Amino acid sequence: MPPAAPAPAAPAAYGRTRDGLRDERRSGRPDRWESTRDGAPGRLRAAAAHWPVLPVLATVALVCVPAGTEPAPGAAGTGATAADAASGILVLCCALLVLRARDRPLDRTAVAVLAVPAAAFALSAVAAHDPAAALPGLVRLLQVFVLVPAALVLVLRSHRCARLVLAALVAVALVQGAVGVHQYLTGTGASYQGENVRAVGTFGPLDVMGMSSAVSCGVVAALALGLAPPPGTSRRLRTAALASAAVLLVPLALSFSRGAWLSTAVAGTAVLFLAGARTALRTLAVLLAVLLVVSPAAGAVLAGGAGTGGEQLARRAGSITEVADAPDSSVTDRYALWAASVAMWRADPVTGVGPRGFAGHRDTHASLALSSASDTAGAGRDFHRQPLLSPHNMYLLVLAEQGLAGATAVLGGWAALLVLGVRRLRRIRTADPAPGPDAGPYGDRGTDCGLAAVGLLVLHLTDFLYADIGGPSTVLTAVAFGLAAWWALAPGAAVRAARGGGEPAGKGTDAR
């Protein structure tokens, strides 16, 4: 007697998964993220599902738009840009989505991490000596550390959406790096010790840190994408990602930014460490091979620079070890600004001097060793004296302007993002061995997204030792913190997905 035919498998649950996506895996029905035989329906479904991430991509891409007008004498040059407008549209779209869903979009942990710093910012603005003057600074702080990160937590519905944002960061870095290398070769960059050799990209001499910030983000994102690509990724894409990370080191060097060099090195080391020893060794071998290929071209770039750019770059690199014994004028000014920040905090220890209050209280607390402004020129701009309106240290800026209450809330939120992000990354890496190349959409654990999110957070937390927010590139900081918040505060279903090959369906808009 022949054995009875097996009973047909029950269809998978149909509803919202914990990432906010519909599970349409019914028998004989293609997944919404998979293309059918002709490919068209899958692409249409993917495009429809990815539309909320379009404002994020526009925000990142518009960073490349040059600043419009020359700042007035004594201005800080921190006016709104096209990228800031795009980030506002992103927040507005996210608010409309939340209102339409009529559901609680964030859990208690996410609300605590994002809302407590917002309350601290508002408290310092209300307690400031001039609350009206502190209002623009309050809006900027909310944009960078609360609103845009919260928007990314809500609109990034899958690992693919996050990879689109990471790819946009790499693309912007490549564009800015290409412009920077051209500036170095043709002598059209920003002025550095009398030579127009400093690569600044499209940001101009008023934001000399802009290009280095964009390129640093691109290096970390490309490295993470190359270290742990999703199942089924071709070897060519992985090699292209690692090659992009290696090539971007050239414009990063030509930015003459010592802080960007150090923060990128720290973030890259953290990404390699979190990826695992075996993966790190393989990646280092690939990067060394790429560097051997591009090193002749890099040497030609350095040798072909206008004037004595190569010698100045070597002296700049050697000055990293001389910041204590024989500091240059920029380091001396930075020490004076740091001392002024501490003096402001001692004068107003609880709530600080208020957002953007550093500039108004600087001369009261600064020593005579501080220069009033720095000289900027080149890259299509005339000579301009740029006022030193911040301490070039985000931690001291928060302490001076937000006081001890604000510093505790803000730094505590950043520490929570780092701890939660690393913990989630370690959990998905230790759950089960990585699935094979034929794994389905739920075999993707998003390790590359986690590496990039944690790496970008480490990048900025390290860079904040030498810099702070300000200028057109600040939007990239907001996006980086948004990616870190999305990874750290997203539901912990990635571990169950890695163990069982799928995520259980939930109810509502977001089963967080």
CA 126 distance to own-chain centroid: 29
As a whole number of angstroms, the distance between CA 401 and CA 140 comes to 13
* Nearest C-alpha neighbor of 144 from the set 198, 90, 185, 99: 90
As a whole number of angstroms, the distance between CA 422 and CA 97 comes to 29
Residue 387: CB atoms within 10 A of its CB come to 17
pLDDT at 499: 39
Question: What angle do helix axes 210-227 and 277-303 make, rounded to 10 degrees?
Answer: 140
Torsion, Cα 219 223 224 230, to 10 degrees, reads 130
Q: Look at 374 and 126; give whichever has higher pLDDT.
A: 126
As a whole number of angstroms, the distance between CA 195 and CA 313 comes to 12
Residue 105: CB atoms within 10 A of its CB come to 18
Residue found by looking up tokens 């695992």 in the block: 276
pLDDT digits (tens, 9 = 90+) for 424-471: 988 887 764 444 433 334 457 889 999 999 999 999 999 999 888 988
Residue 214 above 70 pLDDT?
yes
* Nearest C-alpha neighbor of 307 from the set 205, 426, 198: 198
Average pLDDT over residues 399-411: 94
As a whole number of angstroms, the distance between CA 446 and CA 443 comes to 9
pLDDT digits (tens, 9 = 90+) for 289-317: 666 665 565 555 555 554 555 666 667 76
| Inter-residue contact 157 to 33 (CB < 8 Å) | no
Diameter over CA atoms, the chain? 100
| Inter-residue contact 218 to 241 (CB < 8 Å) | no
Per-chain mean pLDDT for the chain: 78
Residue 370 above 80 pLDDT?
no
As a whole number of angstroms, the distance between CA 302 and CA 249 comes to 13
| Inter-residue contact 148 to 87 (CB < 8 Å) | yes
Strand, helix or coil for residue 170: helix
pLDDT at 66: 83
Alpha-carbon Rg of the chain, whole angstroms? 24
Least confident of 89-93, 280-284, 337-341, 352-356: 280-284
Residue found by looking up tokens 């599902």 in the block: 49
As a whole number of angstroms, the distance between CA 490 and CA 471 comes to 30
* Nearest C-alpha neighbor of 421 from the set 453, 389, 393, 443: 453
